Structure 1
């Protein structure tokens, strides 16, 4: 008898006895060899097609129920694990982050891997989706996720490097930079910490004074969409970041009703009340 798979995530199709196998690709990352395995499984057990989901997931459709166990065994042998469904934490999505993107301020794959390691398939009142993005360009859908992590960069102006070209004023997407009397100033209340000035300044007069994280909560798409709200900005350490993520999940488990997304808990209880509760309360698992 074959050893049963660790767990499965197979989505029933309208075709009788056929399923789509949902795979686990944290941050959308798989090796070239793993992609070859996925293609091979799709050809031998499915219809030869693969579906790439909007959240960086991979699904192999048209797999007959009699082949699911064997197909999953072969996938797991190649290091490809199954995804998640139901009332659980789902697959984490992430942009490439600072490893390859000039605007990225944080190591998004590292954060995504740690979230996956700690919370993947955790039981919650309804599904929880994480999005990790390196900057406010939001390629990793942090604002649209139940819990989103966004990198931020605080810029600082260096008068000695500056050539007074006014490029920073023209390039700033929110007009947070002004120039007067041969000096440039940044309005902290307007700045979105997007790193545009520090990346595109031709003289490198704007440089990063610090980098950090913004933690967003309550985003969701679906039938009742809403954008996430900041729980805390300018978080300086990953330790504090994960403490706040932990508190958010515990709050949700304590207060969420069945089939109620975190964002809809916020709608019901009020933004200020939820933020205060997460930041001040201690919840036990």
Structure 2
């Protein structure tokens, strides 16, 4: 009986050099794996693999040395621990994320909740080539958002509250882009230099800043045979629904225009950066 390797790869089973052996990629979202899942993964790796797992560069877990004739049995065993196979090939891959503001003091957005939402919306969607999402909580950029086809970086837009300010100068010292200055007893913010890191408001002892949390979205990142830093089209997106709209528009653009085996960045280049940016701006502006 012929083996459908394409179907196996779609289901997370990647062929190894060793005949009839596969490295099984498991599904995880935002780097989040429960203790129950970890226990089951360890059990399966011991019983069906060679007693170890591999952690991928995209927060994934793989179990090498799964035998061809044990694939169905492995899937059944994993399901008992709420573990499911991931995906490979030309489709939306695992959404990666740092721990975000729920855990990290520097975080500006709830990265894991957003990762789950994007995962439910896009994971496994068939496309001309693979498509990767990465979410990072702040300008520290631990998840390297711009390396992804679509990267989301958390940010905070600030507005000075004069009545609450005590002119201590902490915000000016905290700002790493020299966007803040004190002139004639007033705080000035240079919007052209502000990168929405939120360090000024986080360091302020008197809460003298109004905060608007939002997203910096980049498109067309690559980090493989070709390297490209993804670029933002809209400097700062405040509204969550608008974030989803521009994400939908980007996926649709890729789906409609990409050639088979062509990454998103090269589709943008071939169709035209101006045309792509127009699509994103229309999605952002239309209610």
- In the superposition, the TM-score normalised over structure 2's length comes to 0.90
Identify the residue that residue 277 of structure 2 maps to in structure 1. 275
Q: Distance in 2 between matches of 1:32 and 1:204?
A: 40
**SS of the residue 2:192 aligns to:** coil
- Runs (4 or more) in structure 1 with deviation over 6 Å come to none
Residue 45 of structure 1: which of 41, 45, 48 is its match? 48
Q: In the alignment, what sits opposite 1:168?
A: 171
Structure 2, gaps ≥5 residues long = 1-7
1:55-94 equivalences under 5 Å are: 55-94=58-97
2:192 to 189, 192, 196: 189
Query: In structure 1, what is the Cα distance between the partners aligned to 2:242 and 2:163?
Result: 35
Q: Give the Å deviation of 1:232.
A: 2.0
Which residue, out of 225, 242, 245, partners 2:244?
242
Contact 2:161 2:210 in 1 (8 A): no
CA distance in 1: counterparts of 2:208 and 2:15, whole angstroms: 53
Residue 4 of structure 2 is matched in structure 1 by none
Flag the 1:82–1:204 CA change in 2: closer, same or farther, 3 A. Answer: farther
Residues 251 and 86 of structure 1, relative CA distance in 2, 3 Å threshold: same
CA contact under 8 A between 1:157 and 1:205: conserved in structure 2?
no
Give the CA deviation at 1:140: 2.5
* 1:206 Cα deviation from its structure 2 partner: 4.4
Q: Which runs of 5+ in 1 are unaligned?
A: none
In 2, the alpha carbon distance for the partners of 1:174 and 1:262 equals 31
Rounded Cα–Cα distance in structure 2 between residues aligned with 1:197 and 1:183:
15
Shift in alpha-carbon separation, 1:280–1:184, aligned structure 2, 3 A: closer
Deviations 1:120-155 (A, max 9, x none): 111111100001112222223321110112211012
2:26 corresponds, among 2, 15, 23, to 23
Q: 1:102, CA displacement in angstroms?
A: 1.9
Output aligned runs, 1:68-217, within 5 Å: 68-201=71-204, 203-217=205-219
> Structure 1 residues 224, 206: CA separation in 2 closer, same or farther (over 3 Å shift)?
farther
Superposed displacement of residue 205, structure 1? 4.3
Question: 1:154 touches 1:211 (CA, 8 Å); kept in 2?
Answer: yes
Normalising by structure 1, report the TM-score.
0.91
Q: For residues 207 and 167 of structure 2, what CA distance do their matches in structure 1 show?
A: 9
CA distance in 2, matches of 1:204, 1:46: 56
For residues 163 and 279 of structure 1, the distance between their equivalents in structure 2, rounded to whole angstroms, comes to: 40
Q: How many residues get paired?
A: 276
| Cα distance in structure 1, aligned partners of 2:78 and 2:28 | 12
RMSD: 1.9
User: Structure 1 CA distance, aligned partners of 2:59 and 2:206?
Assistant: 34
- How far, CA to CA, are the matches of 1:142 and 1:86 in structure 2? 21
